[in-house]
Amino acid sequence: MTISSSLNASVAGLNANANRLATIADNIANSSTYGYKRATTDFHSMVTQGNSRVNYSAGGVRTTNMRLIDARGPLIGTSNSTDIAIDGRGFFAVSSPAGFNATYGTYQMALMTTGSFRPDSDGILRSESGHVLMGWPVMPDGTVAPNARTSLTGLEPINVNTNQYAANPTTKLTLGVNLPATATKAGAASTPFPLPIEYFGNLGSTETLDIQFTPTVPATGASNAWTMDIRDSASGGALVGSYTLTFDQTQATGGRLLSVVPISGGAYNSATGDIAVTVGGGTINVNVGIPGQTTGLTQLSSTFAPVTITKDGSSVASLASVEIDEQGFLYAIYDLGVSRKIYQIPVVDVPNPNDLIALSSQTYTVSHDSGDLYLWDAGDGPAGTIAGFSLEESGTDVAAELTQLIKTQRAYSSNAKVIQTVDEMLQETTNIKR
């Protein structure tokens, strides 16, 4: 019985060390695989007669294997903006090549910690293994619609081809103009001062706001008042706003804007200095200045001077590149120097990442023991940030694996020696009967 248990224990030892050898071989083979998570084999003793002090029966050993998915390899920089890695805890979602069908909107989801993605012929970001990067689309106003945080069903493939061209309409216009104070004095000619300003429409076309300043000339003295008319070429030259401007003439604040009274058109916000002007494609906030401030419209001297006129927007821009920031927002960068958020990549977390089911190509899927997933914004809660221009190196330490390899080889040889010794002892027992 005791000799037989020694033989069984040694056989179990051979199997256990062979199991460890397999994990060591896998770790060394993947020492250059980006995002690879090191596998480990733990040994556990088996006891058949725990309290026996007369005869000892060897129970042997058994093993359990674990992949250290929560262990992070070092990040290295790359030259591809869509090489991404999670800096910290969490994963990003991908669709496997076998389960991806964009036509019918069905996706077989998996999780990754790093990947090198590039647009395919359809503009969809794919890794070298064919996995498709998934994210939430960003709406035109730059916000993301509310999505389920406990399910991957709201994610969709990231497609950069849908953003090849972008119109960047003008929404903000600032007027820094000096009006001649002499034009509002009695006897002046009451000549209007035109100021055409180009802006960009919703479709990238060039339009014009024709602004005209007409002084109010009194019979005596000075009125310090003007009428500002705004006409829009996108509205067929229609009058879209008319306002009475009054300027201060006191010693302390002479020449500064005193009041803006709408005659027609959008309202004036005295707290921001904006007039909401409705043009052919929407609304443009025209900033004329805050009453009492030195910026915006002024009335000094005898010179009409458009000092500073600024506006946002641009003509149609072509996509030049895409980049990902730490919060997981994918930006389209256009050749005119403008950028726009187009997708948000959430960070997926589970309570026990080491019990995720490992799949090929450094991907994982949820199991019962891993717990349910939750989608975080990158950098929020326990979730790490997302690093662009980066890849995560393998979690294998080759020197440590080679040390384990030597120990495993010695242990395997020792178990084999025990089997050889048991065989010799059994042979001696057989010879006694002769």
Instruction: Report the distance separating Cα 313 and Cα 316, nearest Å.
Output: 10
Instruction: Report the distance separating Cα 429 and Cα 434, nearest Å.
Output: 9
Q: Which pLDDT score is estimated for 330? A: 95
Tokens read off for 149: 């945080």
Q: Which pLDDT score is estimated for 57? A: 77
Number of other residues whose CB lies within 10 A of the CB of residue 346: 27
Q: Which pLDDT score is estimated for 60? A: 83
Number of other residues whose CB lies within 10 A of the CB of residue 184: 23
**pTM check: above 0.85:** no
Q: Which pLDDT score is estimated for 320? A: 86
Q: Which pLDDT score is estimated for 110? A: 92
Q: Which pLDDT score is estimated for 4? A: 78
- The 3-state DSSP composition of the chain as helix, strand, coil percent (nearest 5) reads 20, 40, 40
Q: Which pLDDT score is estimated for 100? A: 65
Instruction: Report the distance separating Cα 238 and Cα 230, nearest Å.
Output: 8
* Domains of the chain by residue range: 2-68+395-433, 86-162+319-379, 170-312
Q: What is the pLDDT of residues 96-143, one digit of tens each?
A: 876 666 554 567 899 999 999 999 988 999 999 999 999 999 987 889
Residue ranges in the chain modelled with pLDDT below 70: 1, 50-54, 98-106, 433-434
Helices and strands, number each (H, E), in the chain:
2, 31
Tokens read off for 192: 């209007």
Q: Does domain 170-312 have CATH number 3.40.50.720?
A: no
Instruction: Report the distance separating Cα 31 and Cα 35, nearest Å.
Output: 10
Q: Which pLDDT score is estimated for 65? A: 92
Instruction: With beta carbons less than 8 A apart as the criterion, state whether 233 and 210 touch.
Output: yes
Q: Which pLDDT score is estimated for 374? A: 95
Q: What is the pLDDT of residues 356-388, one digit of tens each?
A: 999 999 999 999 999 999 999 999 999 999 999
Q: Please report, for residues 161, 179, 256, 305, 335, the alpha-carbon distance to residue 175 in angstroms, rounded to integers and kept in the order given.
A: 37, 12, 14, 11, 27
Burial class of residue 63 (count of CB atoms within 10 Å of its CB; 0-12, 13-18, 19+): middle
Q: Which pLDDT score is estimated for 102? A: 57
Q: Which pLDDT score is estimated for 94? A: 95
Q: Which pLDDT score is estimated for 314? A: 81
CA atoms within 13 A on the CB side of 305: 11
